[in-house]
Amino acid sequence: MILQIAWKEIHHNLMTLRFALMIILLPLLMIANALIYGYGDDGYTAQMSAYNKQMAQKRAHIELYAGQSLAELAVMGPGDMPKRPSLLKFCANAADEVIPRYVIMQAYGSASRSSRSDEFEAYAWKGPWTLTYPLNSFDEGGATRRVKIDWVFIGILMSFFAILFTFDAIAGERMRGTLSLIMSNTVSRSQVLLGKYLGAFLTLMVPLVIGILMNLLLVQLSGSLSFDSGNSLRILGMVGLFGLLVSIFIFIGLFFSSRVSNAITSLVWLLLTWVFLAFVFPNLLGIFVGNLNPIPSVDEVSLRKKAQLDQIGDEFRPFGRSFLGGSEGTPSKLDKAPSIENPSATLQWATYFTTWTGTETKITNEHIDQQFNQVQFARDLTQISPIATFQYAMEGLANTGIVGYMNFVKQARRYRQTFIDFVKTEDQGDPESLHIYPVREGLSQKPVDPNAVPVFAEQISYRSVLSQVGLLVLFNLLFFIMAQVSFLISEVK
């Protein structure tokens, strides 16, 4: 009986104007998506070309300094760390054009002369490298105001079509008097509800799957993308996310359709609910979180960082008496400059470098972590909306958006420590070294095999996606129960 009701719903839906609208609009959007991301100027091919060039420069950087010495490699670092472009950006763009694609490795040093050049020529020093992040703000500006025809946008549109196909599923039958006729047969209300759900679900998902296959074919023919088994599984996961989102709004539609006496009232309530969940609620919460705990501006952080680093410079001034703790006279260059023959000065420079980089890294990390935490808090709140949860899950599978960059930054930080541990381990094998990190003169002056240097490799994390899939399943259960109870207690006339 459920299948008979479902087939009746499908046949009814196929004859409606809304189905004709969907069957025209959906392929057009899928074709537009394929053309934009498959043949666009800044497509995946161009991004991969730039990425490969950056990786080649990074490799040349490591080979250059590793061939000089381990010490030189230690202070110059492994080079900038580019983020690999996402092959599935066409599925979830997430304003990726305003999110950095790399973490900068910044080395610092000085080759200036002392103001008292008649007494002392300044030591040309190199300090250890640090990580900086070229992301000044998470305000995506105009990028978020442009409509991006990706799969996320199409998913939001499909949720709208879900309410169009269900707003009169029960209320319309009640108005026409056919609901009481159906219920006069040996069929339960649960069977009627599930039949209508199945009919609407198949009406929506079959054209969507056909559109997705057409989209993938066009993207593949563009020659810019090539899908392996891992990407194919992620795409299947995205199709599953489409199904969960569509299912949620079908249940919402059935709930309102069973609660009101006519189809027009049901449609009005559903449109208000959809607009609220898709646009109003996420934007209002984003503004609320931003005003709840304002983050210091980049200029404010830069001033605070400069003040603290200047204070460290005054305390450990390499060319002053306080740094050396010496006598009133100006020490000679040999007393100040680090070298194998002068381990005391080398340790003093190590103290200076360690304090300086520790403070610089702490302030930089705290600032971007504040932004990360604010974004994560806003995302956690907006996941009350199924549409927002769907979007975040799609971004997680595509490895795009701010969460992808957050994971990338965390991995870059871990790699920095891995690289430092490698330098220290290699340095222990040189008996001629002072084993004082991070001073160039305190480390091994022998070259190191560039192939032995650890390579940074970004790993995609799906941890957040699992929680979002769980939320979508819970939404389905919640709205199914609401629709079921509402239909059970509603009048058939």
Query: Does residue 232 lie within any of the structural domains?
Result: yes
Question: Same structural domain for residues 368 and 399?
Answer: yes
What is the arithmetic mean of pLDDT over 325-333?
41
Q: What pLDDT sits at residue 3?
A: 87
What's the rounded Cα separation, in Å, for the pair 186 and 27? 41
| Mean model confidence pLDDT for the chain | 84
Query: Does residue 94 lie within any of the structural domains?
Result: no
Question: Same structural domain for residues 341 and 288?
Answer: no
What's the rounded Cα separation, in Å, for the pair 138 and 413? 20
Question: Same structural domain for residues 354 and 416?
Answer: yes
Q: Per-residue pLDDT tens for 16-64?
A: 999 999 999 999 999 999 888 877 656 677 788 888 999 999 999 999 9
Question: Same structural domain for residues 304 and 444?
Answer: yes
Question: Same structural domain for residues 206 and 354?
Answer: no
Q: What pLDDT sits at residue 120?
A: 33
Please identify which residue in the block is written with the tokens 């979508």.
Answer: 472
Question: Same structural domain for residues 415 and 482?
Answer: no
Question: Same structural domain for residues 152 and 284?
Answer: yes
Question: Same structural domain for residues 333 and 389?
Answer: yes
Query: Does residue 314 lie within any of the structural domains?
Result: yes
Tally the domains of the chain. Answer: 2
- Domain range for 18 is 2-35+148-292+472-489
Query: Does residue 358 lie within any of the structural domains?
Result: yes
Question: Same structural domain for residues 163 and 273?
Answer: yes
Side-chain-side CA neighbours of 264 within 13 Å: the count stands at 0
pTM comes to 0.85
Q: What pLDDT sits at residue 103?
A: 75
Q: Per-residue pLDDT tens for 165-203?
A: 999 899 888 888 787 777 777 788 888 999 999 999 999
Query: Does residue 60 lie within any of the structural domains?
Result: yes
Query: Does residue 143 lie within any of the structural domains?
Result: no
Query: Does residue 330 lie within any of the structural domains?
Result: yes
Question: Same structural domain for residues 319 and 455?
Answer: yes
Q: What pLDDT sits at residue 270?
A: 95
Q: Quick one: three-class SS letters along the chain?
A: CHHHHHHHHHHHHHCCHHHHHHHHHHHHHHHHHHHHHHHCCCCHHHHHHHHHHHHHHHHHHHHHHHHHCHHHHHHHCCCCEECCCCCCCCCCCCCHHHCCCEEEEECCEECCCCCCCCCCCCCCEECCCEEECCCCCCCCCHHHHCCCCCHHHHHHHHHHHHHHCCCCCCHHHHHHCHHHHHHCCCCCHHHHHHHHHHHHHHHHHHHHHHHHHHHHHHHHHCCCCCCCHHHHHHHHHHHHHHHHHHHHHHHHHHHHHHHCCCHHHHHHHHHHHHHHHHHHHHHHHHHHHHHHCCCCCHHHHHHHHHHHHHHHHHHCCCCCHHHHCCCCCCCCHHHHCCECCEHHHHHHHHHHHHHHHHHHHHHHHHHHHHHHHHHHHHHHHHCCCHHHHHHHHHHHHHCCHHHHHHHHHHHHHHHHHHHHHHHHHHHHCCCCCCCCCCCHHHCCCCCCCHHHCCCCCCCCCCHHHHHHHHHHHHHHHHHHHHHHHHHHHCCCC
Q: What pLDDT sits at residue 283?
A: 82
Question: Same structural domain for residues 190 and 57?
Answer: no
What is the arithmetic mean of pLDDT over 286-307?
81
Query: Does residue 140 lie within any of the structural domains?
Result: no
Instruction: Determine which of 71-85, 118-132, 351-365, 461-475 has the lowest per-residue pLDDT on average.
Output: 118-132
Question: Same structural domain for residues 107 and 209?
Answer: no
Residue 323 clears pLDDT 80, i.e. is over it: no
Q: How confident is the model at residue 394 (pLDDT cuts 50, 70, 90)?
A: very high
What's the rounded Cα separation, in Å, for the pair 440 and 438? 6
Q: Per-residue pLDDT tens for 146-163?
A: 567 899 999 999 999 999
